[in-house]
Structure 1
Amino acid sequence: MDTNSMIFRLKERLTIAIAICTLSACGGGNSSNMQKDVPTSAHQTALNSKDKAKVEFNYQKLIDDLVSDEIHGIILHVSTPNRTFTGSSGTANLTTQATLQPDAVYHLASTGKVFTALLAVQLHQAGILDLDATIDTWLSPEIIEQIEYGTEITLRQLLNHSSGVYNYSDPRSNDAYVEFVLANYDKGITNQDFVQFALGQPAYFKPGKGAEYSNSNYALAGMILDSVLGHPNAHAMRDQIIDRLELGNTFSVGIENQFGEITPGYEKQNGEYINTWPILSHVTSASTPVASTVTELSTLMDNIFNNEQWLSSQAREDLIGDKSRVSVFPGLEYVLGLWKEEMQGYTVYHHNGGNHGYVSNNLYIPELNTSVVYFLNCGLNDKCLDAFQTIERAVMESILARPEV
């Protein structure tokens, strides 16, 4: 089946469902895959413990048990002060049957929103833009007049989803934007292309009067960043984030595809598994900006919370502090590019993402200096999403029940 014949039923309604899935919705409870054996796989890259006598949670067995004909490959990274595990299981490429490696590069989908938010914060700190300026400062009158309350919305409100701007991938709407991508991806898809499907639509609420996850917010933010910089924001993202942190396998999708070889992502169509990367590689969007590895995404989070030389306390406050926080419901807030959630007495910053062929999750617990990142290349089918949630439940339970591990 050629690439053009795919999609078509792969409406991204499921994408938004996974993008807004939170720990309280996907986590809690016990997993039948929770084991207490010591991992032994050759794909495991590191395993250290201060107490060798203690039986450790078997992360490798967890992912090994989940891989199947429909769940092609899983990569999992768990880093605590006492232990680091990076393991993979399954297949990277269904054509070559290549084994999935722990350092494989995946499309992050919405998990990458933190890169966009972080760049905006850094530009704010440099005085290049103002997070609290209204978006009509940068966007054309032709766009602003088609966004309800457009002259009242700030850039910060775009980045924390308190703008009220209609989501072009609203699961209750039709999928015109998906059909547009399918018909035009070979020409390149941009933030402006996605935004057109939000223009003229009613706002969810007045700016600052609610919180509603909207990919349109980040597409608009990407347009603003490009306008301020005078060139694709991917170049500044590389200079300020990717190269500064030496993230050698991280790159901006659609702009820097030559920087890395991405693992295929698969969706099933008419009984066949189709690699979606040939389409997604042409999509450049600040709502799904980058591809990366599990360890490099973990490195980013560690630096966000712990590297004062790279990210000042003032910048960190702009990213996750009180001014940027909006309440979604009790115990769950959105900051800039991340969810903030209270779980079993700990604060967890996280964001997951799904795109046809790829699902990913990124979680960080500052009090425990603990990072969890995992990727699957089986797309948005029910079994893949079940596996996605099983991993989160089991890993977070293993960490929060025994935080010393």
Structure 2
Amino acid sequence: MFSQQIISDLQQVLNASVADQGIPGAVVYLSTTDGIWSGASGVSNLKTNTPMKPRDRFRIGSISKLFLAVVILQLMEEDKIDLNDTLIDWLSEEICDFIPNSHKITIRQLLNHTSGLADYLNTDEFNTALETTNPNHLWTATEAITYAYDLEPLSPPGKKFHYSNPNYILLELIVEAVTENTLAREMCDRIHTPLGLIDTFTEMREEIPGGFVEGYADWDEDGETDNVTRRNDGVGLGDGGLISTAPDVARFIQGLFIEDKLLAAETLEKMLTWVEDREGGYYGLGISAWNSDWGEIWGHTGNTGGFLSTCWFLPNQDITVVVLTNTADTALPDDIAAGVLDVVLADEEED
């Protein structure tokens, strides 16, 4: 167990970060061989000033990609797919005819973002659609992928890393084609239920009892903070559709990397086969890696609709850190995670 001094120092780091970064609120979950600490700071709703709680739910954005990657790799373990299968092996001509290099792009290249496909998130067509779409509109992967149709490839398949959300929209479509089931159902059956993730849901695909915290951003760039929780930018899809809590995300990370409850050892080896991300780090199959002062770190970040998040796993120390925040403008969740590690690892060095 952590000492009271360490607990006090961790909470102080979180409180100071929320204040200094101008974040409405944030939560942290930390798990080490010495103990577990979860903390919250700030508010979950600026209008009501509701205090943030450690088990509050957030949109976790692209951390969802790691969940989807696990589903794909489980299907591979079941011999239902091969990582060298191409788009045309699983998707209809109506889709493949409009995706450049669909006869060459493999499932592995979708997973590690080496497909060369351009992202549609910043295109005028997609953003115009967002402005005119009803907030209650239930986006489908089939609809979302149309905004990637005929976009000029950024590189030939397998040649370079380009982080691109359509890769994971296509993976969602592949899961649906292979299983004849929704991705939300497969995630629930394969990950959430086995690990006991009682606070993890796919937005707009599942009922979320009690909802989740409010998310904020200066959406119209007028200098004022806006509540953007109800803005529908394609929520609930495979590239970033999950709602979760810091304890649930940490439980997922530990089930995957410490307890080996989701994938076989040889499959994890495939997941952790890296390509350079051209920013000094690496990317595997749904997961990032980078070197730090504390050694190698595996993890992922999330940025979506008023929320920024990060999850870190330090394999050499069996340490898991999850930081969830409810703003997309000023939050620096990686800095909060680093501050937390400074506290606990500096304490270990002193011991």
TM-score (norm 2): 0.90
1:275, CA displacement in angstroms? 2.9
Deviation larger for 289-298 or 181-190:
181-190
Maintained 8 Å contact 1:160/1:337: yes
Q: Look up the SS of the partner of 1:354 in the other structure.
A: strand
Match of 1:222 among 161, 164, 172: 172
Deviation at 1:189, TM superposition (A): 1.6
The AA in structure 1 aligned to 2:336 is: I
- 2:153 aligned with 1:203: yes
Offset at residue 149 of structure 1 (A): 1.5
Q: Where does residue 354 of structure 1 map in the other structure?
A: 303
What code does the residue aligned with 2:16 have? Answer: D
Q: How many residues align?
A: 346
Counterparts in 2 of 1:4-403, with a 5 A limit? 48-49=1-2, 52=3, 58-68=9-19, 70-169=22-121, 173-185=122-134, 186-259=136-209, 261-268=211-218, 269=220, 270=222, 273-280=225-232, 283-320=235-272, 322=273, 325-329=274-278, 332-344=281-293, 346-379=295-328, 381=329, 384-385=330-331, 387-399=332-344, 401=346
2:48 aligns to what SS in structure 1? coil
Gaps in structure 1 of 5+ consecutive residues: 1-47
Alpha-carbon shift at residue 316 of structure 1 (Å):
1.7
249-258 or 175-184, which deviates more? 175-184
What amino acid sits opposite 1:363 in the alignment? W
Residue 400 of structure 1: how far off its partner (Å): 5.3
Q: Secondary structure at the match of 1:278?
A: coil
Deviations 1:46-93 (A, max 9, x none): xx23xx598677121112123349421111111111132100011111
Cα 1:201–1:73 shift into 2, 3 Å: same
Q: Kindly, what percent of the aligned residue pairs are identical?
A: 27
Q: Deviations over 1:346-403 (max 9, x none)?
A: 2210111111311111000111000111111122x2xx23x43431342344455555
The separation in 2 between residues aligned to 1:57 and 1:258, in whole angstroms, is: 33
Q: Is the 8 A contact 1:91 1:100 kept in 2?
A: yes
**CA deviation after TM superposition for structure 1 residue 309, in Å:** 4.5
From the superposition, tell whether residues 310 and 223 of structure 1 become closer, same or farther in structure 2 (CA, over 3 Å).
Answer: closer
TM-score using structure 1 length: 0.79
How far apart in 2 are the matches of 1:276 and 1:390? 24
Equivalent position SS for 2:324: strand
Task: Identify if the C-alpha distance between structure 1 residues 159 and 119 changes in structure 2 by more than 3 Å, giving closer, same or farther.
Answer: same
Give, in whole Å, the separation in 2 of the partners of 1:202 and 1:340: 28
Could you say what secondary structure the match of 1:76 adopts?
A: strand
Contact 1:250–1:260 at 8 Å: present in 2 too? no
Gaps of 5+ in 2: none
| Residues 307 and 148 of structure 1, relative CA distance in 2, 3 Å threshold | same
* Contact 1:251 1:259 (8 Å CA) reproduced: no
Mapped contact 2:137–2:232 kept (Cα < 8 A): no
Q: CA deviation at 1:200?
A: 0.5
Q: Which whole-Å CA distance do the structure 2 matches of 1:214 and 1:86 have between them? A: 32
- One-letter code of the match for 2:308? V
CA change 1:178–1:259 in 2 (3 A) is farther
Q: CA RMSD in A?
A: 2.4
Query: Counterpart of 1:278 in structure 2: which amino acid?
Result: R
Q: 1 CA distance for matches of 2:54 and 2:72?
A: 30
Mapped partners of 1:253, 1:301: distance in 2: 20
Distance change (3 Å), C-alpha of 1:257 and 1:277: farther
1:310 Cα deviation (Å)? 4.1
C-alpha distance in structure 1 between counterparts of 2:153 and 2:290, whole Å: 26
Cα deviation digits, residues 297-355 of structure 1 (max 9, x gap)? 011111111223543213322322x3xx2122485210111101122362210111111
3-state SS, counterpart of residue 130 of structure 1 = coil
Residue identity matched to 1:64: N
In structure 2, give the amino acid aligned to 1:258: I
Q: 1:360 to 1:144 in 2, by over 3 A?
A: same
Contact 2:250 2:320 in 1 (8 A): yes
Cα separation, 2, equivalents of 1:274 and 1:212: 31
